[in-house]
Amino acid sequence: MEVRLMVLDVDGVLTDGKLYKSEDGREIKTFHTQDGLGIRFAQANGLDVTIISGRVSVAVENRAKELKIEYVYQGIKNKVAVLNRLLSELSLGLEQVCYIGDDWNDLPVMNKVGYPCAPANAVELVKQQAVFVTGRKGGEGAVREVIEHLLEGKINELSVLRYLEEEAAIVQ
């Protein structure tokens, strides 16, 4: 069955996994622009993208808005329950889901979905559960690498140029 939904953890997947704190306690996250452009391309090619994170961050909320990610769940302890509710709403099955995770708390979801993936910096146990492990680390284009893997055959110079022409304001 074809993957229709990509679900992303944040820390260690969309970011490098480090927690940056300002002197006033605000959390700062960095995101890779190649992941952003890849997410927008994936969405334009029929792949829905969702974020499910155990932490809560304004930076994640803002980044998701920039990338037009409709479903963003933060502060989640039971990712499987949230995913099941979302799949019911979207009329999708677990076998149609690609999940990218990097740490132990991602294993319950990875063991349920049809296409579990891990970035190069994931812990070993998570890599063992993944059907695809990227060469790039989280926060360094790992999400883009998974997207290119999933959309293999749909990505070529013509399809990319057509996408860029149609997308008036590209947010990376």
| pLDDT higher than 80, residue 167 | no
Q: CA 29 to CA 17: how far, in whole Å?
A: 9
What residue ranges do the domains of the chain occupy?
5-166
Q: For residue 4, name the pLDDT band (cuts at 50, 70, 90).
A: very high
Least Cα distance to 49 among 3, 85, 116 occurs for 3
Least Cα distance to 98 among 139, 152, 56, 60 occurs for 152
Q: Quote the pLDDT of residue 89.
A: 96
pLDDT digits (tens, 9 = 90+) for 7-35: 999 999 999 999 998 899 888 999 999 99
Q: Residue 116 pairs with which residues in a beta bridge?
A: 99
Q: Residue 100 pairs with which residues in a beta bridge?
A: 8, 117
Q: Quote the pLDDT of residue 138.
A: 98
Q: Quote the pLDDT of residue 123.
A: 98
Q: Which CATH number fits domain 5-166: 3.30.70.260, 3.10.105.10, 3.30.43.10, 3.40.50.1000?
A: 3.40.50.1000
Determine the 3-state secondary structure of 97 from DSSP: strand
pLDDT digits (tens, 9 = 90+) for 65-109: 999 999 999 999 999 999 999 999 999 999 999 999 999 999 999
| pLDDT higher than 60, residue 171 | no
